[in-house]
């Protein structure tokens, strides 16, 4: 399965002297990682380059496969305050996803999750920690039945779902949806392979259908309420239109600027060319 190519620029949803937020595309790393080859494009490097080398502080994360609102701090003090806000659950997060089956109209999943560890970065961390509380509220926005057989069923059913996680465990929404037998479409780790295959073959789906659409918090320096919103990615918008879900999800763009997408290798080459021309 081929991956969706990265866009040529990143949308900036918000920026001031303390913060910067972007609409991260699916497939883009938040920061450099041992799981990807050296010089793989990542948000931190791109934003740092956009800020002429200034320090960028990560205050929360999205999985590589998840798209949507991603917030960074430009200042150490702002980062400290925002890290505390996330830890104390004072940041309101909203996600959009597509799941297998007709999910209940609304409910709250209160199911503790064992902490997931990174094989390299967390190898010194105690691995036998007890499960941590994890709570996700959700509501169904729309459904569709496709006349495509899956397994022993003559048709395939799906739901468009809005999720509001009250806690921030790793892969929380993906694992909670799996727990209630409604895995997210395109999830190769916690999903249903038969349904993932259906979407790849019939709709050319190359990504996880999970998007961070809103992030609300109080500004770490001014105390002003900030409400950040990101539209669904173009490829998701196209799919949702085919499902007849127009008007059920955010499509309005709120960007205030753009960041050019170039790889670290390209940046290094540009710097070398500049040096040689002097």
Backbone angles phi, psi at 22, to 5 degrees: -125, 165
Of 63, 107, 122, 273, which one is the catalytic site residue? Answer: 63
Which pairs with CB-CB distance under 8 Å and at least 24 residues apart come from 216-220? 216/91, 216/92, 217/82, 217/85, 217/90, 217/91, 217/92, 218/85, 218/90, 219/18, 219/19, 220/18, 220/19, 220/73, 220/77, 220/78, 220/80, 220/81, 220/82, 220/85
Q: Is 63 a catalytic residue?
A: yes
Q: Is-contact 195 181, C-beta < 8 A?
A: no
Dihedral sign for Cα 159, 140, 27, 123, please.
negative
The Cα–Cα gap between 270 and 276 comes to 10
Side-chain-side CA neighbours of residue 225 (13 Å) = 4
Q: Among 50, 54, 32, 49, which Cα is nearest to 41's?
A: 32
The Cα–Cα gap between 79 and 74 comes to 7
Parallel, antiparallel or unpaired: strands 67-73 and 210-218: parallel
The Cα–Cα gap between 210 and 67 comes to 7
Q: Among 146, 121, 246, which Cα is nearest to 199's?
A: 146
CA 15 from centroid of its chain's CA atoms: 19
Active site residues: 63
């Amino acid at each position: 399965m081929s991956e969706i190519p990265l866009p040529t620029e990143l949308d900036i949803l918000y920026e001031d002297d303390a913060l910067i937020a972007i609409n991260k595309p699916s497939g883009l790393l938040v920061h450099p990682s041992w799981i990807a080859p050296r010089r793989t494009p990542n948000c931190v490097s791109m934003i740092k380059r956009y800020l002429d080398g200034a320090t960028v502080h990560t205050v929360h994360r999205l999985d590589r496969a998840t798209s949507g609102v991603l917030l960074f701090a430009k200042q150490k003090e702002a980062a400290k305050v925002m890290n505390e806000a996330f830890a104390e659950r004072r940041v309101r997060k909203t996600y959009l996803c597509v799941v297998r089956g007709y999910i209940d109209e609304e409910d709250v999943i209160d199911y503790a999750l064992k902490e997931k560890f990174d094989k390299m970065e967390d190898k010194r961390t105690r691995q036998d920690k007890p499960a941590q509380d994890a709570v996700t509220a959700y509501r169904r926005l729309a459904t569709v039945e496709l006349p495509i057989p899956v397994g022993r069923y003559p048709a395939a059913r799906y739901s468009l779902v809005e999720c509001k996680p009250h806690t921030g465990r790793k892969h929380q929404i993906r694992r909670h949806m799996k727990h209630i037998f409604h895995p997210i479409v395109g999830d190769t780790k916690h999903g249903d392979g038969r349904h993932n295959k259906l979407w790849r073959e019939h709709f050319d789906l190359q990504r996880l259908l999970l998007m961070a659409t809103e992030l609300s918090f109080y500004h770490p320096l001014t105390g002003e309420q900030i409400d950040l919103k990101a539209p669904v990615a173009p490829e998701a918008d196209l799919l949702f239109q085919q499902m007849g879900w127009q008007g059920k999800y955010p499509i309005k763009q709120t960007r205030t600027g753009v960041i050019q997408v170039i790889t670290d290798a390209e940046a290094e080459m540009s710097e070398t060319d500049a040096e040689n021309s002097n």
